[in-house]
Amino acid sequence: MILTITIRDDLHTIAVQHAARSRGITDFHIVECDHLSGRASVTWRSHGTPSAIVRTADGVSLPLDEVSVLWWRRVRADQRASVHAADDHQRALVNNDCRGALAGALAAGFHGRWVSAPEATDRAADKLYQLTVAARAGFRVPQTLVSQSRDEVVAFVREVGRVIVKPVVGASGPLVFTQHIDDPAAIPDASFGVCPAIYQEYIPGTRHIRLNCFGERMHAALIETGDLDWRPNLNVPISRWPVPDDIADLVLRVLRHLGLRMGIIDLKLTPQGEAVWLEVNPQGQFLFLEPLIGEPLTQHFLDFLIAEHAAA
């Protein structure tokens, strides 16, 4: 039995569930973590069996001890019903207690295979930590500075040349795209002090790699564009990219050290063809690539979940 924790209308989960049902797999369930409030969604008891039960999007009461694989997909959203709370305190109470009850029930009552474990997912999402791990594994990583000091950023630009800036974590809502920062000395000091940001050596080249790693299998796309951040414009040449064995070995080394069973990885190829590690998203987007490169990624991911079930 496979269970996914995600938000309502998550297209990735819906697509994989549809693929499962088209194969006759009915034990693929979804818990919508942003719709726990307003109905009996989570039960946990210290004595008796089953100890933990969650209610799926289809209204099925599912004992967690019957679940073999748990896809930890999208888990941080607030409750949709909390918008009707009387004040900020009530809203925070609803959101925190729903999130805490679900997390606690899963931690106590689920004993199968995580994709991927919450602790590993949270740690791997730390861009500073994953850069350190990737470098130790043997990847070239860009020279990077995280700072709130304009003087430090100015010195960094003088040292490394062209520099880009991006958020350390970011926030829900409109995407904040990676940008060049050419003259930090011309920016008010207060702008740097608001919060830390990532300042990073610019890697030249026009070949971007989006690598989807599901277990031991990898499916990658080559995105050819002169844009610094390829996400706003996908009307560019995009094709399958056979993953070289040496890159595959490095990727698996990084993911194993991070404790991840899957990862969506961004690399960039220098003009000389060297692969530079940019980052990994433990639960990144892959569905958009399927029609662009003609690769059945939904089916590949379902195959991966089925293999995890068999190994549980």
- pLDDT value, residue 119: 96
Tens-digit pLDDT profile for residues 270-312: 999 999 999 999 999 999 999 999 999 999 999 999 999 999 8
Q: What is the DSSP letter of 140?
A: B
Structure confidence at residue 184 as a pLDDT band (50, 70, 90): very high
Which token pair is 129? 């930590």
- pLDDT value, residue 182: 87
Q: Summarize the confidence of residues 220-235 as an average pLDDT.
A: 95
Task: Look over the chain and give the mean of its residue pLDDT values, rounded to a whole number.
Answer: 95
- pLDDT value, residue 41: 96
On the question of pLDDT at 140 being above 90, the answer is yes
- pLDDT value, residue 213: 98
| Alpha helices for 46-143 (secondary structure H) | 88-109, 118-124, 127-137
Q: Summarize the confidence of residues 167-174 as an average pLDDT.
A: 82
Tens-digit pLDDT profile for residues 80-125: 987 777 789 999 999 999 999 999 999 999 999 999 999 999 999 9
DSSP state string for 10-32: -HHHHHHHHHHHHTT---EEEEE
Give the DSSP H/E element, type plus range, for residue 223.
Answer: strand 217-224
Sequence letter at residue 11: L
Tens-digit pLDDT profile for residues 35-75: 999 999 999 999 988 899 999 999 999 999 999 999 999 99
Tens-digit pLDDT profile for residues 4-35: 999 999 999 999 999 999 999 999 999 999 99
pTM: 0.93
- pLDDT value, residue 212: 98
| Cβ pair 72, 118 in contact under 8 A | yes
262-269 and 207-214: which strand pairing?
antiparallel
Strand partners, 269: 207, 275
Structure confidence at residue 137 as a pLDDT band (50, 70, 90): very high
- pLDDT value, residue 20: 98
CA distance 90 to 84: 9
| Alpha helices for the chain (secondary structure H) | 11-22, 88-109, 118-124, 127-137, 150-160, 189-193, 245-258, 289-293, 297-311
- pLDDT value, residue 312: 85
Which token pair is 54? 């969650």
28-32 and 42-44: which strand pairing?
unpaired
